[in-house]
Amino acid sequence: MGKIRMGFIGVGDMGSHHALGFDQLDDCEVLYICDMNEGNVARALKELHNSKPVICSDYRELLDKEDLDAVVISVPNYMHRPIAVAFLEAGKHVFLEKPVAHTLEDCDAIIAAAEKHQRILQIGLVYRYSNVYRRLAHEVGMGRLGEVKMMWCKEFRDSFPPADWFYDKTKSGGSIVEKDCHHFDIFNWMIGANPVRVFASGGQHMIKQGQPNLITNSYSHYPAKNIDNPTVVDHAFITIDYDNGSKANLGLCLYLKPMNLMGDGLEIGLIGSNGAQMVVKNDKTIDIAGGENSTRDHLDIDVISDSIMGGHTGGQAQRIDFLNCIRSNRQPFASAEVGRNALLIALAAEKSITEERYVYLKELTNHGVS
């Protein structure tokens, strides 16, 4: 196989960075870019130095291209199913940004198409390719905590980019679906057991229905915009019970201004059966303390080699793995099943907030969830 020829469906914040990342790899070519937004296309083209892609505005123009091997899909969540299924049915490999979809029905339809047509389907759960979290998994696997019994995540940050779909639950699936599949996947990965039930409490503190909400965002190119009728929560606490008795908790806040200015940034912690604990701070460091003795380890992790230009930790490593999976016909570490398992927790949390009760994951899989 020569260079893997790639198309990019959606080149906003995530899609343009994917195009830039793949453009830097010798064994692939950025051949097509598809986006209705001319500003997005112009921004993406400025960042490409090794490719001169063909531009189009409708993904359906690319479905029958014989010189296209794989696509990267970075579009709003409610558009995942029609676009991903179409390319899988056309025989193209798919890198699909997380979450897999905004509903379980759409998620399962995408997975079924990948299985039927025997194509690679990788989900953008970028932490699975991060040097930080792979080292964390290594330490857990070496028995530094015994068995992981408790985990937590503090996801305190500024709001989503000021684009309407983020704030419309029917299109995003809700704040928890859109944002926290990453973190639920880390819980599942480190605990190594099956989530059974979820209890969540959340609502709207500052970004509320029935009032003008001037939304700004620290990391995207979107200009400030009023969002007048948000139907998503801007805060939540979520507790997950696993079948081995372990528990995990995530705290979400989406109204810090201008962003999280604390040095800790995102914090993820673990406590083990031997009394030791680990804490990951700002996607960069791991601290390990306690257990059989008073040993304390501080690990500064290489956060350069797995990403590019200050992008998300693991960002470039996941792109390299996608190409390797295509060449070797193997399933990616961030597989569709992994993505589905994280989505189930997020959907259960959204349902728990709405219905003010524990939600068992078997409810969603036995009866479906919209």
CA dihedral 278, 280, 286, 291 (to 10 degrees): 0
The CATH number given to whatever domain includes residue 37 is: 3.40.50.720
Q: Which residue has the tokens 């019970």?
A: 241
Tens-place pLDDT, residues 21-34: 999 999 999 999 99
For residues 286 and 358, membership in a common domain is answered with: yes
Task: Check whether residue 274 and residue 134 sit in a common domain.
Answer: yes
Residues 6+ apart with CB under 8 A from 361: 195, 196, 197, 198, 344, 345, 348
pLDDT (tens digit per residue) in 230-259: 999 999 999 999 999 999 999 999 999 999
Q: Name 115's Cβ contacts closer than 8 Å, sequence gap at least 6.
A: none
If asked whether residues 325 and 266 sit together in one domain, one would say: no
**Residues 253, 327: one domain?**
no
- Is 311 domain-assigned? no
Q: What are phi and psi of 152, to 5 degrees?
A: -145, 160
pLDDT of residue 189: 98
Residues 74 and 40 occupy one common structural domain: yes
CA distance 139 to 272: 12
Statement to judge: residues 112 and 145 lie in one domain: no
Q: What is the pLDDT of residue 367?
A: 59
| 100 and 139 in a common domain | no
What is the per-residue burial (b if ≥16 Cβ within 10 Å, else e) of 297-321?
eeeebebeebbeeebbbbbbbbbbb
Residue 163 lies in a domain: yes
Q: Return the structure tokens found at 100.
A: 């897999």
Residues 137, 246, single domain; the answer is yes
Task: Indicate whether 369 belongs to any domain.
Answer: no
Measured at the CA of 49, the angle between CA 45 and CA 50, to 5 degrees, comes to 110
> Are 101 and 216 members of one domain?
no
In a domain, 310, yes or no: no
What is the C-alpha separation between 363 and 370, in angstroms, rounded?
12
**114-140: pLDDT as tens digits:** 999 999 999 999 999 999 999 999 999
- What is the per-residue pLDDT across 196-231, written as a single tens digit (0 to 9) for each? 999 999 999 999 999 999 999 998 888 999 999 999
Could you tell me the CATH number of the domain that includes residue 227? 3.30.360.10
Would you say residue 370 has pLDDT above 50? no
The residue type of 297 is D
Burial class (CB in 10 A: 0-12, 13-18, 19+), 129: buried
Which domain, by its residues, includes 149?
127-305+341-364
In a domain? residue 370? no
Interior angle at CA 339, CA 347 and CA 139, nearest 5: 110
241 and 354 within one domain: yes
| Residue 293 shares a structural domain with residue 205 | yes
**257: burial class by Cβ within 10 Å (0-12, 13-18, 19+)?**
exposed
- 312 within a domain of the structure (yes/no): no
pLDDT at 144 over 50: yes
Q: pLDDT for 152-171, tens place per residue? A: 999 999 999 999 999 999 99
**Is residue 60 a part of any domain in this protein?**
yes
Residue 252 forms part of a structural domain? yes
Our count of domains for the chain comes to 2
Query: Do 118 and 132 share a domain, yes or no?
Result: no
